[in-house]
Amino acid sequence: MSTYLDHAASTPPRPEARAALASWLDAANASSTHAAGQAARVAVEEAREAVATALSCSPHEVVFTSGGTEADNLAVKGVIWAARDRAAGTPHLITTAVEHPAVLDPARWLAERGDASLTVVAPARDGRVDIEQVLAAVGPRTALVSVMSANNELGAVNDIPGLAAVLAERGIPLHTDAVQAIATLDVEVAAWGTAALALSAHKFGGPQGVGIAVLRRGLPVVPLFHGGGQDRGVRSGTFATGLDAACGEALTAAVRDRTDLRERLRTMTDRLAGALTALDGVRRNGPVDPAQRLASHVHLGIDEVDGGALSVALDRAGLDVSSGAACGSGAAKASHVLEATDVAGTPLRLSLGWTSTQADVDRAIDVLTDVIPSVRARTAGAGARA
């Protein structure tokens, strides 16, 4: 059995989510008027209400999607297209260089086809986004700002309520990708003041293939999908009753347990980071202030170790972590996040979640204490990157 410390990539489903998914596998079409269809519809609407309660928003503002990628695309493209349809001239979109591709790619695609002009704001070295830098980019045509709540690689947490407040003064909606934040941060839509927010169920103990777009009342959005007109015409397609029900159950459980989980993970990640940064040539990346980084993430920069060889050795040792790098032909390629933040060393992300234990942390420390120096010795001078 391997030790799984890759919860930022996907965290296991919670029992409540498994049970809900199983019980609605045979669901009728939730738009059918017969009793079986209406029973499924009740399940979808109850899930929507559970999500709204968990996020402090109205059920009318909750749209179920196929995941975080669709939720981000819906917010970014949908709001920009609605702005383009409303006013003459090209709308302006602001985002940051450390966003997930689910935001950055649609933003660049909109700009390439002339649907938006785009400003991509650079982050600080710790991966956080400076509000003043965003404000400096605002112009008369700015129709949307999209800034992630917390970065998936470095775990850097942004001041979303602060940013939403200054943008609201200028009448500019803020979309935030809260996919990585939701498991350990108190994401509250009303208090945060965000116009749109994206979540993915498989990051908070729900199944893969379902997500949430919160679109506040009054925010004009052009749909991505046209068809049967489900979800108030914003997202056509037969309701995924089982996935939606499981998503609602998982989010309720995740929010119920969140404060305890945050404390537990903070203790574990601090111990992990403390032990690993005591090793030669190993640094912790991301914000130094614990309030500005996720309790779940430890991002390391490791000197003089080949990324490809390290990945292979950790996989062999049964430690499931993320290299944060695409390894083609054995050469580690820095991600866009690490390039934007100028972080040095071979990257390694360890991310913990609701099933993580002290034993997982002990094992990770043992494995890395052994593997880092041995891979370094073996690959010294053969493609190691500083």
Ligand X SMILES: Cc1ncc(COP(=O)(O)O)c(C=O)c1O
Residues lying near ligand X in the complex (CB under 6 A) are found at 67-69, 72, 100, 102, 148, 152, 177, 179-180, 200, 211
Instruction: Judge whether 95 and 146 are in contact, CB under 8 Å.
Output: yes
3-state secondary structure of 130: coil
Interatomic CA distance for residues 219 and 291, integer angstroms = 31
* Closest CB to ligand X among residues 119, 180: 180
> b/e string for 135-149 if b means 16 or more Cβ within 10 A?
bebbeeebbbbbbbb
Question: Exactly one of 135, 317, 327, 344 is catalytic; which is it?
Answer: 327
On the CB side of 85, how many CA atoms lie within 13 Å of its CA? 10
Query: Within its chain, how far is the Cα of 74 from the centroid?
Result: 15
3-state secondary structure of 365: helix
Interatomic CA distance for residues 10 and 341, integer angstroms = 24
* Closest CB to ligand X among residues 94, 179: 179
Between the two ends of the chain, the Cα-to-Cα distance in Å is 32
Extract the tokens encoding 249: 């159950």
* Closest CB to ligand X among residues 59, 209: 209
13 Cβ contact list (under 8 Å, min separation 6): 21, 202, 205, 206, 207, 246, 250
* Closest CB to ligand X among residues 43, 71: 71
- Burial class from Cβ neighbours inside 10 Å (0-12, 13-18, 19+) for residue 189 reads buried
Alpha helices in 24-123 (DSSP H): 35-55, 68-86, 101-112
In the bound complex, what is the minimum distance in angstroms from residue 39's beta carbon to ligand X?
Answer: 27
In the bound complex, what is the minimum distance in angstroms from residue 323's beta carbon to ligand X?
Answer: 15
For the chain, give me the number of helices (H) and strands (E)? 11, 14
In the bound complex, what is the minimum distance in angstroms from residue 68's beta carbon to ligand X?
Answer: 3
Instruction: Judge whether 83 and 97 are in contact, CB under 8 Å.
Output: no
* Closest CB to ligand X among residues 104, 273: 104
In the bound complex, what is the minimum distance in angstroms from residue 384's beta carbon to ligand X?
Answer: 28
Can 327 be counted among the known catalytic residues?
Answer: yes
**Amino acid identity at 272:** L
In the bound complex, what is the minimum distance in angstroms from residue 342's beta carbon to ligand X?
Answer: 20
In the bound complex, what is the minimum distance in angstroms from residue 25's beta carbon to ligand X?
Answer: 21
In the bound complex, what is the minimum distance in angstroms from residue 81's beta carbon to ligand X?
Answer: 20
Interatomic CA distance for residues 306 and 375, integer angstroms = 8
* Closest CB to ligand X among residues 129, 282: 129
* Closest CB to ligand X among residues 338, 371: 338
Catalytic residues: 327
